[in-house]
Amino acid sequence: MLRNFCTRALLLALVNVQAVLAARPDGFLAYHHKMPPDLLNDVAQNKSIRLIVRYYDAAIDTEIQGLERHPQQDKQFKTNVMAFKSQRYRELKDRATAKMDRKRFNIDRDYSHLPMNVVTVKGETGLLGLLANPAVAEVFRDVELHHFLAQSAPLIRSPDVLSQTGYDGSDTMVVVLDTGVNYTLFDFGSCNAPGLPSSCRVKVAQDLAAQDNALDDNGHGTNVSGIVAGIAKGTQLAVFDVFDGASASSSVVIQGINWAIANQLTYKISAINMSLGDSSQNASLCSHSFSNPFVAPISGAFSAGILTVIASGNSGFSTGLAMPACTPQAVSVGAVYDSNVGGLNWGICTDNLTAADMVACFSNSASYLSLLAPGALITAAGNTLGGTSQAAPHVAAAIAVLRGARPSESVTGTLNRLTSTGVRIADSRNNLTFPRIDILAALGSVNDNFANDTVLSGTTDQSITTINAITSTQFSTKEVGEPNHAGNVGGKSVWFAWVAPAVGNVSIDTHGSSFDTLLAVYTGSSVSALTTVASNNNDGSANGSSGLGFVATAGTTYKIAVDGFNGASGNVVLNLTFDTNIGANGGSSTQVPAMPPWSLLVMAFGFVGISVAVVRHRN
């Protein structure tokens, strides 16, 4: 009996905190799952508090999910779905807030495309009235965020890995939520106003926080925007000043995310960049924390086709990311040095030595960190800064480039490109490895489709020209109507085109490729109506490589397909040798008419470290 009593006493002690809550006449216990545990302190003595509120209705959620899974996803359909969602969220919020006691409840801010708004409630009664509303799913404090450490330092170049590709993020937009942007700078098109002149890269620039009458009163946003503009030289920008001095309210930042969702279809927004956060250390994804109001907004952006890129934070944590980088579906980004910049003291930590691809000591890391990118030291728009703030916009720009190249790819597919092709970098602090973005590798084989073939051309030197192209077939596909190359079903083809400059012997092989290849050469202008010139699966060389030869006709365009046996994929090495010795003149190389020295241009964007080589014979 006594023992039983002791056990019950212990249990009572353990539940003491809840018991106190339960004992309250106002019955907050029933709603503890909707609010941060210590929120009651904020409304003591009838104080007012501003809260971000998320509303939920299961029936609306089911309706929306059904529409988002609908097979028809053209622009008109997406526009209709977006309008429908906005309308349903409007109805949900109107219904819920109509019942509120206006003396204790005020709506401060609304988000047109999220099931959320920002309200002020007064005292325990006001808070309880809000929580008791069945449509209210949870409430968050409107926490203040800051932009991450920025340090001026001597100049290093801003890496521009896109200089050799045609893809620059054209026909996309990146939304930057920061301290604003000085769009009058040359980097943005020397604009007079957003979108003026029409070449101005910044199409939208607004203060969402209190108007400070400055384009950028800090310089942080201009640097971050400049990195995006410099890496994705074709993308447009919408830059919102979400900072009031040195801090940004979550509710204002969410306003920027809402704008991106509402305008995704208008501007083809591919990414949101948030080089901001708090100082918290989150060892795992912060999906169920009353301290993170960004879960629903970032999820909303994701389903609208927008990736939200967030700096991991500069606290030097090796086992945790800041909020909101910790949010599920956020693309969190840590920083590496882009070169040896000597020793650097960051205040919070010191790197005595630095080197390219070394993780910076300030860069927050955790097992779930998405990506690494250059973040120290980056000069952009006339300002040199270092931090995860500078790493994030490299990723936002990379996303713009990838989405510009493949606008209809899923955002999951785009992210997978970056994570699966990135260079693996070890973080010596926690012995974890993370992918450092490699935009060229992530672009994959841009010559996947027949219509996008990579044109091979080269300098001929007397009679023999050899061209080597390297590309990756990792993300390639087989098109409708595409023939089986060399008699095998394949599945991941890439296409090259080559115009024979004269009559001659052509030898093509895939020697050196990393997988069992199929090779076929065709003439014709449609993937479903091709005439086979030659094809081969295995020519007896290593790894199931392929090789073939034929006599080329002057001026004919040959379409060359490389696929993988039974859908295998990897890095393709394509070697083409053209010999005019058997040509019309029929004589030796010295009798071939001199040809103009065409400059070699192999537009093979597919794989990092593309090598293009002309082997000159018979000089």
User: With contact defined as beta carbons under 8 Å apart, do 494 and 572 qualify?
Assistant: yes
Round to whole Å and give the CA distance between 378 and 342.
Answer: 14
Which of 159, 169, 180, 386 forms a contact with Ca ion (CB under 5 A)? 180
Stretch that binds Ca ion, among 90-98, 126-134, 353-361, 440-448 (CB under 5 A): 440-448
DSSP H helical segments within 118-244, as ranges?
Answer: 123-132, 220-231
Instruction: Please report where in the chains the tokens 């890391």 appear, as a residue.
Output: 365
Q: Which residue's CB is nearer to Ca ion, number 251 or number 476?
A: 476
Q: How far is the CB of 527 from Ca ion (least distance, A)?
A: 9
Cα 540 to chain centroid distance, Å, stands at: 42
- DSSP code, position 585: T
To the nearest 10°, the Cα dihedral for 84, 88, 89, 94? 140
How many chain residues touch Ca ion (CB under 5 A)?
16
Of residues 559 through 618, those in contact with Ca ion by CB under 5 A are 565
Vertex 540, ends 519 and 446: CA angle to 5°?
25
Given a contact cutoff of 8 angstroms between Cβ atoms, the answer to whether 523 and 559 are in contact is: yes
Among 124, 138, 142, 516, the residue binding Ca ion under the rule CB under 5 A is 516
Least distance between Ca ion and beta carbon 248 (Å): 8
| Cα–Cα dist 606/570, whole Å | 11
* 138 is a site residue for Ca ion (CB under 5 A): no
Given a contact cutoff of 8 angstroms between Cβ atoms, the answer to whether 297 and 262 are in contact is no
Q: Which of 275, 312, 315, 389 is catalytic?
A: 389
Considering the candidates 113, 220, 394, 485, report the single residue annotated as catalytic. 220
389 catalytic per annotation: yes
**Is residue 448 part of the contact set for Ca ion (CB under 5 A)?**
yes
Q: Should residue 207 be labelled a site residue for Ca ion when binding is judged by CB under 5 A?
A: yes
- For Ca ion, which stretch binds (CB under 5 A), given 119-127, 145-153, 206-214, 461-469? 206-214
Supply the minimum distance, in Å, between the C-beta of residue 491 and Ca ion: 9
Q: Which of 275, 354, 383, 537 binds Ca ion (CB under 5 A)?
A: 537
Q: Of the two residues 136 and 405, which places its CB atom closer to Ca ion in the complex?
A: 405
Nearer to Ca ion, 178 or 427 (CB): 178
Task: Name the residue nearer to Ca ion (CB basis): 124 or 516.
Answer: 516
Q: Which is nearer to Ca ion, 200 or 446 (CB)?
A: 446
Can you tell me the distance from the alpha carbon of 6 to that of 9, in angstroms, rounded to the nearest whole number? 5
241 near Ca ion (CB under 5 A): yes
Residue pair 120/48 in contact by the 8 Å Cβ criterion: yes
- Interface residue with Ca ion, options 42, 160, 171, 212 (CB under 5 A): 212
Length of the chain: 619
Binding window for Ca ion (CB under 5 A); candidates: 67-75, 153-161, 181-189, 199-207: 199-207
Under the binding rule (CB under 5 A), the answer on residue 474 touching Ca ion is no
Catalytic residue among 142, 178, 216, 509: 178
Q: Is 243 in the site for Ca ion (CB under 5 A)?
A: yes
33 a catalytic residue? no
d(CA 369, CA 426): 12
Distance CA(7)–CA(408), nearest Å, equals 62
Token code pair at residue 481 = 């109507």
Can you tell me the distance from the alpha carbon of 436 to that of 393, in angstroms, rounded to the nearest whole number? 13
Look at the block and give the residue holding tokens 């047109």.
Answer: 112
The residue with tokens 């023992």 is 3
220: annotated active-site residue: yes
**Shortest reach from residue 570's CB to Ca ion, in Å:** 12
CB of 207: closest distance to Ca ion in angstroms?
A: 4
- Residue 335: φ, ψ to 5°: -115, 140
The catalytic residue positions are 178, 220, 389
- What are the residues binding Ca ion (CB under 5 A)? 180, 207, 209, 212, 214, 241, 243, 448, 476, 493, 516-517, 537-538, 544, 565
